[in-house]
Amino acid sequence: MLTGEESRTTVAIPPTRQATTVLSTYRRLQMAGFNPTEAANLTAHLSGLPIEGQKWTIWEIQHLLFVRSLVESGRLSS
Tell me whether residue 56 is in a domain: yes
DSSP string, the chain: ---TT---------HHHHHHHHHHHHHHHHHTT--HHHHHHHHHHHTT---TT----HHHHHHHHHHHHHHHTTSS--
User: pLDDT tens, 37-64?
Assistant: 999 999 999 999 999 988 999 999 999 9
Within a domain: 50: yes
Q: Is the pLDDT assigned to residue 7 strictly greater than 70?
A: no
Q: Would 77 be classed as within a structural domain?
A: no
**What is the tally of structural domains in the chain?**
1
Residue 53 in domain: yes
| Parent domain of 51 | 15-72
What is the value of pTM for the model shown? 0.70
Please report whether residue 63 resides in a domain. Answer: yes
